[in-house]
Structures are given as structure tokens and as C-alpha cells.
Structure 1
Amino acid sequence: MRRLQEPELPSLATLLPAFSRAEVVVVGDYVADEYVYGETDRVSREAPVLIVRYESSELKAGGAGNAAQNLAALGVKVRAVGVVGDDALGTALLDELAASGIDVSGLVRVPGRPTEAKTRILAGGRSTRRQQMLRLDRTPPAAIPAAVEKKLVKELERAGRRSAAVLASDYGSGAVGPAAIEALRRVKRAGTPVCVDSRYNLRAYTGLTMVKPNEVELETASGVSLAQPNGVEKAARALLRRVDCDVLLVTRGRNGMSVFRPGLPPVHIEAHGSRDAVDVTGAGDTVAATFSAGLAAGGDAVAAARLANVAGALVVQKPGTATVTREELAAELLRP
């Protein structure tokens, strides 16, 4: 396995100016990540639970929204395609995305459908750090209506053919169904790179440009144990054949990432830096977004992966759902 280290990182910075000239479409499951902060100092008389006195709250874009915001932070033009509910959370999520400079005209509001949301309650004592106590998930109970799906697919194909790349961010909530996957294949055949980050349905994404599993997802999707000798490569080759993609990008945590392509030797990229992660929340979104930006800017698969490797190392140094700006990425690439 060919291994890449970091001395050539400054050369990757030449791709960054092209980010602002590229547009990437992000299709997927847009989620409202709501954070509620409070203080707790006593147990309820009603039940053995802590009482949380409300202090503040904030809303962030999760799921495909986090991937879209990562692209926007890199200076890429972003068009969002997906669905949100016709409710207050949907309005807040659209406002959050639009405030990041993302084009939200491709997000369809569905009357009567709740916006998918994850509400995290974080609390602690006076002058202590707030820690997560509870997460409350709101998931739409029904599939996307057929008429809405048809509209989404039409928008995906129209916008995708005009863009420099498409990123499908599939969290399993139904925004990227079989019809949308067929549209992604048509977009790819028309010449636009299509990248995929799917948590539960990797094997459905056949015939596209890039598929990005982590090691757990790789083992599950390939059916090949990673515990055996050379298990990662065996599993990657099996999945590569099954999904028939151009690039399989395997993220491997502290072991970096590996790039597999048909007929070529694998390329392993060492983990960037030596600092321990602070928070890995959303790191996969950052990696998928930066890889897509690298392709959109004209880089090849290995260059895009190396950019994504550095961006991933930077974002895990930040608490919570976070992004990496183009300026931060440039500074790290050019750091002596």
C-alpha cells in the first residue's frame, strides 16, 4: 500500500482559489440540531430526575445541512436540495442555512410534515461545563409524498447537471430514495462528479464517483471482517466491486484514510497532526464536503482526499457540530 505523508501539503493550497468559482449541490436529509442549555442543582420531587433551569438555546444545521455549511465555509457556492417541514423548526433551519450563504430554493417545504430534529439538553452546576443529559429526536413518521419526491428529483437533476459536483448526504430519513439515486446516476453520466456519504444504505449507491464509508460502515456494507489480515483492503475491494464506483474513500480515524480505485494500488494517507480529537461530531460531513470541493476545484481523487484529511483533523479540534473555513485550511496547509 502506497503511503502519503505531509511534506507536499503546500501544493494542495493551489486548489483553494478555485473553490469560490465552483458550485456543489448537496442533496440529502436536512436536520435541525437544537441545543438547550441550563443549570441544574437539585433533584425533582416528582421523579428521580434532575431539574434543569433554562438558560439559552441555539439551532444548528445537522445532517446534510452540516455538509452544506462545511462547503459554504470553504467558499464554495452551495445549492441545497431536500425537504423540511412547514413548521417553526423548518423556518429556523432555512434561516440558518441561508445565513451561511447557501441557496435554499431547492429545499421543499412539506405541509403537515415535521422537520426532522435532534434536541439536546445540556446542563451542569454553577460555573461548570454544560454536558449532554438527554437527546430528544423528532423523525417524520411517513415517507416523502410522491409528488414532493418527483419535484425533488427534478430539481436534483437540473441543478446537478449545472454544478461542478454533487454530494449526497444520506442519513437514512428518506430524502435520497431510489428515484433520487437514479437521478444521481444520470447526473454522473452527464459528466458531473457525484460523491456519496450514506450511513445505512451504501450498497444502493452504484455507478457513482465516490462512496465514503468509515471502517464500521465498510465492514457492514462489504460483509468482510476487518479483523483478518489485510482486512481493510479485502473489504474495500469487495465493496468497490459491488458499488462500481470510481473511488472508495475509507475514513479510519487515527489511522488516517485510504483511497481505493479499480485497477490501481491503494493509497493510504497518514492522519494529519498529532493532537487528540476534542469532538468527532460531524467530522464525516467535513471530510465528504472537502473531498467534494476538491473535485469541484479540479483536483484528482488523491488530492481531494488529502485536503479532506487535513480538514477533518482541524474540525475535530472544535467542540460540537463545526466547520472549517477556507482560511483555516489554507493556514494549515501553508504552516511551516
Structure 2
Amino acid sequence: MTRSEIKTLFQRFADVRIGVIGDFAVDLYFDLQTETGERSLETHLDVFWGSHPRASLGAAGNVVQNLVALGISQIQVLGCIGNDLFGREMQYLFNSLGVNTQHLHVVDYDWDTCVYAKPNQAGQEANRIDFGTGNTLSDALFANLLIGLEQALRDLDVLIINQQFPNPLLPENRLNNLNELIARFPAVQVVADMRDVGRHVRGATLKVNTAELGHFLGIPVPTEPDLDWCVEQANAFRECSDTPLLITRGHAGIFYLDEYETQTVEGLSLQGELDTVGAGDTVVATWSACLGAGATSVQALEIANLAAAVTIQKLAQTGTASLSEILDLHHTYVAHD
């Protein structure tokens, strides 16, 4: 794509309406110092010091902030948060982005807002501390969530389904209900990123990485799976499911396959230190925005590849990619090829 074509596509993003349902989290970053020379007078244990706390949206929330960075302004989120300080922080972050939280349920009991606490010690991420990844959604609250989803689907162009937690908002035993509801809205394009239960979703493009594809098929994954391996396994997956596949291949690029076409884009040869955390969310958000704006699969692959290349160059953060950043990268790596 040319620079002009990319800008024209992004102009259409303003009219795209996207919903995101699934596992929302807060990413909490802070600097940790363990050698302080201080001991607690009460417990007589060493005291650690934390500094520079900073929060951003994680998991499905990272998909949302990527959508906003791309210029999508009509976003609805559907999920659950706890009635706790992290839940209030998530609400604040969503409100700051102008996101519609009408269907984000606040649960008053037995539900901790999910938090990925990521201490940075001497320039390296130390042991992560997770909150809320073992929540269990009641049947009554799930029913209310489906009611909200039905209302939202009437006004959406694209629905993104996210599953990340070990005990997710949408476990396997509830996907039939979700599939039946989605089937009633064929005009809505659906993109699913579900690392454990994705093989059970229907009516959606399933985004996977090569490790997840191998997991779904129950086969080992080569250290460096090549394109032929991806094509072979994607076709094997589609023998038991008609689901289109969007396969991220790390530095090798992205691969797309459905019943009509097979497309691939090669990764960019980036220099310097890279951080791939959240890159899959960037791909999901960019692909979804492009589909909602009427882009072809080839165009969506190219833009998603550029966007992911932007975010992996942002260290110690769940990065996003804006139009200006994508255009700069396009100018550097693509326009001069």
C-alpha cells in the first residue's frame, strides 16, 4: 500500500463501530528495590521499596487502547470488573479513552479485578503478581452479559472476543450460547483471540500464534515453524472447523487463510531490542479496524504487520501504534524497498 492509501483507509476508521468482550485487566508497572537496608519494626522482615507506579489497560483492555490509538472512536466493552481499587482504575482508564462501558458489569462479591503487577528490578521484569485470574462468573451474571451483548450487536460492525485468563470470562461450556447469539447477527464481523478455547468458537476469524495452533491440534511445534508448516497445520485445523485463521508468526510475519484465499506478509527486519508483549493484541485490533473499514485481507495484513512492528519496539509497556507511527515505519522499511 502507498502512504496515501494507508491514510485514506485510516480516515474510514472514524465510522467503524467495534465491541470487545472478554478478559479485561490492568497492567500495573512499578520499579522495585529489594536491597534497601530497612527492616520492618513490626515483622522484622526486610522492607522493599516501590516507585514510579504506572497503570495501563491489559489483556482485552490492551486491544481497546490499540483500537483508540488507531483512531477508532466508537468502542463498547463487555465484561466484568470487581468493586475494588483496580476496578475503579480500569473505569478511569476506559473513561479517559472515551470508551462506552455501559456493559462493563461491576461485581460486588467474589470477583477481583484482574491485575498483572509487573515489578521492574534493575531493568528486568521480576516475578509477576496476578490478581483476579481465577474468578468464576455466575450463571445469572453470564445471562445478563449475553443480554448486553445482544443489544450491542445491533449497533456493531465488528466484535472482538478475547480469552486470556486460566479461568476466563467465556469458558468452553458457555461458547455454544455465544455462538448461537453471534449467528443471529451475520452482518457483524467477528474476530476471536482465545488462547485455550478458540477451537470452539464459530462464525469468527480466529487469531492464533504458531504455539497456539500446535496446542489446538495437539502436535509439537518446530523451533522455527516455516510457512509450509503453517499452511499444512492451518488446513488440518480447517478440516474440523470452517474458521478462517489469522496466524502470527513472530519475526516471520502474519499468515491468513480461509476457504477462498491464502495470504501472507513477511515480518520487517527491525534493529535493536524488542518487546513482543501485547503484539498479538495490536494485530487483532488493527485487523479488526481494517475489516470494519472495508479493507481487503491483503491490506489488513500489511497494516497489522506494520502496527505490530511499531509496538514491539516500545519497551516495558503494552504499546500501541498510531497512524503517524505506522506511516513513519512504512516510509523507513517499505516505501524504500
CA spacing shift, 1:190–1:267, aligned 2, 3 Å: closer
Question: Which aligned pairs between 1:256-335 and structure 2 lie closer than 5 A?
Answer: 256-264=253-261, 266-276=262-272, 278-319=274-315, 320-333=317-330
Q: Give the SS at the match of 1:162.
A: coil
Q: Give the SS at the match of 1:289.
A: helix
Q: 2:248 aligns with which of 238, 248, 251?
A: 251
Alignment check: 8 A CA contact 1:226 1:232 kept: no
Q: Give the counterpart letter for 2:59 in structure 1.
A: G
Q: Give the counterpart letter for 1:214 in structure 2.
A: N
CA spacing shift, 1:92–1:272, aligned 2, 3 Å: same
In the superposition, the TM-score normalised over structure 2's length comes to 0.86
Partner of 2:138: 145
Q: 1:57 aligns with which of 53, 59, 69?
A: 53
Q: Give the counterpart letter for 1:278 in structure 2.
A: L
Partner of 2:120: 122
Partner of 1:238: 236
Question: Which aligned pairs between 1:1-336 and structure 2 lie closer than 5 A?
Answer: 11-42=5-36, 52-76=48-72, 77-112=74-109, 113-124=111-122, 130-139=123-132, 141-172=134-165, 173-177=167-171, 178-179=173-174, 182-188=177-183, 189-206=185-202, 208-227=203-222, 230-245=228-243, 247-264=244-261, 266-276=262-272, 278-319=274-315, 320-333=317-330, 336=335
CA spacing shift, 1:185–1:257, aligned 2, 3 Å: farther
Gaps of 5+ in 2: none
Structure 2: distance between partners of 1:161 and 1:302: 28
In the superposition, the TM-score normalised over structure 1's length comes to 0.87
Structure 2: distance between partners of 1:57 and 1:181: 41
Q: Give the counterpart letter for 1:53 in structure 2.
A: W
Alignment check: 8 A CA contact 1:256 1:271 kept: yes
Gaps of 5+ in 1: 1-6, 125-129
Structure 2: distance between partners of 1:279 and 1:174: 25
Structure 1: distance between partners of 2:89 and 2:12: 31
Structure 2: distance between partners of 1:91 and 1:258: 38
Query: Shift in Å at residue 152 of structure 1?
Result: 0.9
Structure 2: distance between partners of 1:289 and 1:108: 23
Structure 2: distance between partners of 1:241 and 1:18: 35
Q: Give the counterpart letter for 1:92 in structure 2.
A: E
Query: 1:167-207 deviations in whole A, cap 9, x for unaligned?
Result: 1111133212444553355335431100011111121113x
CA spacing shift, 1:31–1:181, aligned 2, 3 Å: farther
Query: Shift in Å at residue 333 of structure 1?
Result: 3.9
Q: How many residues align?
A: 321
Query: Shift in Å at residue 57 of structure 1?
Result: 1.0
CA spacing shift, 1:272–1:184, aligned 2, 3 Å: farther
Structure 2: distance between partners of 1:285 and 1:54: 28
Q: Give the counterpart letter for 1:232 in structure 2.
A: C
Which deviates further from its counterpart, 97-106 or 210-219? 97-106
Cα RMSD after superposing both structures: 2.5
Structure 2: distance between partners of 1:222 and 1:10: 41
CA spacing shift, 1:55–1:67, aligned 2, 3 Å: same
Alignment check: 8 A CA contact 2:27 2:57 kept: yes
